[in-house]
Copies of this chain bind each other. A is one copy, B any other.
């Protein structure tokens, strides 16, 4: 795995211990059937998800607001280290092609790094968003990065604990 250097002025970090084993967290992040059940904080939903799990492959989610407005988020995987780390970026389209230029200030590209580590009976979970500049970081924070990604993680935990017991 590539060493990544964080910059507190540019990056946002969510770090938590969760009561789900690492392989279940990995499954939650890499199987569309799970993603559609936890990815967007309620009352938003995730009607569909496409995953081609390899460097250069597609990660695409459709999100829907309570009013029925749909937003598509598409990116490209950069690193797939099973059970350990998943990296993708919205700065590239699938196949490593540069993504279209953003059209609004809130449409900035970021790179996401999900790190997973066994700790006790659960997982040390770290989600990092890397930004181009301080404005993009500030926008992302104001849009509710910590609250939104935290609530989604709560949903992941509820789902994958239930899954472990049931389905």
* Residues of chain A at the chain B interface (Cβ within 8 Å): 2-5, 10, 54-57, 78-79, 87, 89-92, 95-102, 108-111, 113, 130-133, 136
When distances are taken between beta carbons in the complex, the residues of chain B under 8 Å from A54 are 2
Contact B56 A78 (CB under 8 A): yes
Q: Is the CB of A110 within 8 A of B95?
A: no
For A78, the chain B residues whose CB sits under 8 A away are 55-56, 78, 96
| Bound CA span A98–B133, Å | 9
Q: A91: which of B5, B91, B130, B133 is its contact (CB, 8 Å)?
A: B91
User: A77 CA to B95 CA in the complex, in Å?
Assistant: 14
Task: Decide if B5 touches A98 in the complex (CB within 8 Å).
Answer: no
B2 touches A55 (CB 8 A): yes
With CB as the reference atom, state the residue of chain B lying closest to A10.
B97
Q: A78-B78, A92-B89, A92-B91 are in contact. Are A56 and B97 (CB under 8 A)?
A: no
The 3 A-B residue pairs with the shortest CB-CB distance, nearest first, are A2-B56, A91-B98, A98-B109
Which residues of chain B have C-beta atoms less than 8 A from A133's C-beta?
Answer: 100
The complex places the Cα of A101 from the Cα of B87 at a distance, in Å, of: 21
Smallest Cβ distance from A136 to chain B, in angstroms? 8
Cβ-defined contact, B101 with A96, below 8 A: no
Chain B residues whose C-beta falls within 8 Å of the C-beta of A132 in the assembled complex: 97-101
CB-defined A-B contacts under 8 Å, sample of 30: A2-B54, A2-B56, A2-B57, A2-B96, A3-B56, A4-B56, A4-B95, A5-B95, A10-B97, A55-B55, A55-B79, A56-B78, A56-B79, A87-B96, A89-B96, A90-B98, A91-B92, A91-B98, A95-B130, A96-B113, A96-B130, A97-B130, A97-B132, A98-B109, A98-B111, A98-B130, A98-B131, A100-B132, A101-B102, A101-B132
